[in-house]
């Protein structure tokens, strides 16, 4: 089907999911919107997150998307069930794919999760993990300083190293975990810093790869994959600064992109 896949995120973090979708589904067109003006979502109330999520979704529905990917863990935790019940297109979040990937990798069934305040307080990951494997031991930790740092484009250097080291100290002291879920799609942008601090003995799981696999499987099952031959024209929108979004997105996706401002209906 010659319709695009819609991807939403609170900012630039969902680009880590978009890049996997582009790699695994190279013929599919994406329309991405990042709500960088109101990022981060983590400290916001559930009501705010749900409202902002629907504003992005309605923006994409007007562009006739065939599937919605909620590439934001906080929005997934707070709004996914409502989106499932009210939309007539397939909707996928990033929490369950990340949980499944972690369980496949973990050897000792002791898994750490880092995310925004909203995602961690929702307990969405422990619920998802224990639904799959009831005896899993989960240690979760909010890292509220990561998203603002990433949104500013601080991905390496002394400041990034310091913030990551300070934030992960409580989890590092629980050195029995062998797997760490990056429970925010911004975090893969500082994955190398996180790996250095948490240690090479811990496997790091990002939900992007597993989410892209599920998108491919669902579209294939529903016979909605694009079967022609094309180089897709992806579209990127942001509610915030175009220059910052374009710089981070171009570097992460390793290609020049065109970014437009999105005006969301309140």
Catalytic center residues: 72, 184
Backbone φ/ψ region at 32: left (φ over 0), alpha (ψ -120 to 50), beta = beta
Report the interhelical angle of 73-86 vs 95-105 (nearest 10°). Answer: 120
Residue 188 is classified by DSSP as G
- The DSSP bridge pattern shows strands 179-183 and 110-115 to be parallel
CA distance 251 to 228: 29
Cis peptide before 40 (omega within 30 of 0): yes
Closest CA to 141 of 168, 160, 105, 164: 168
Q: How far apart are CA 13 and CA 248, in angstroms?
A: 10
Half-sphere exposure of 161 (CA within 13 A, CB side): 4
Q: What are the φ and ψ backbone dihedral angles of 20, each rounded to 5 degrees?
A: -70, -40
């Amino acid at each position: 089907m010659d319709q695009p896949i819609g991807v939403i995120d609170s900012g630039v973090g969902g680009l880590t999911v978009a890049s996997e979708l582009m790699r695994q589904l190279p013929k599919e067109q994406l329309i991405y919107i990042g709500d960088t003006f109101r990022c981060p979502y983590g400290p916001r109330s559930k009501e705010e997150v749900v409202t902002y999520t629907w504003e992005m979704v309605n923006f994409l529905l007007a562009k006739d998307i065939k599937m919605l990917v909620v590439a934001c863990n906080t929005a997934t935790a707070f709004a996914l069930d409502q989106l499932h019940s009210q939309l007539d297109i397939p909707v996928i979040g990033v929490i369950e794919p990340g949980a499944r990937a972690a369980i496949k990798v973990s050897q000792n069934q002791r898994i750490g999760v880092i995310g925004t305040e909203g995602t961690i307080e929702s307990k969405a990951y422990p619920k998802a993990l224990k639904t799959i494997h009831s005896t899993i031991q989960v240690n979760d930790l909010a890292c509220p300083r990561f998203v603002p740092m990433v949104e500013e484009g601080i991905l390496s250097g002394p400041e990034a190293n310091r913030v990551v080291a300070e934030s992960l100290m409580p989890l590092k002291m629980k050195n029995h975990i062998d797997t760490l879920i990056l429970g925010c799609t911004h975090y893969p942008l500082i994955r190398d810093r996180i790996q250095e601090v948490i240690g090479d003995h811990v496997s790091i799981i990002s939900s992007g790869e597993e989410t892209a696999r599920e998108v491919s499987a669902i579209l294939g099952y529903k016979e909605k994959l694009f079967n022609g031959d094309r180089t897709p024209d992806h579209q990127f929108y942001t509610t915030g600064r175009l220059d910052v979004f374009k710089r981070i997105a171009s570097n992460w996706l390793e290609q020049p992109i065109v970014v437009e401002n999105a005006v969301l209906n309140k």
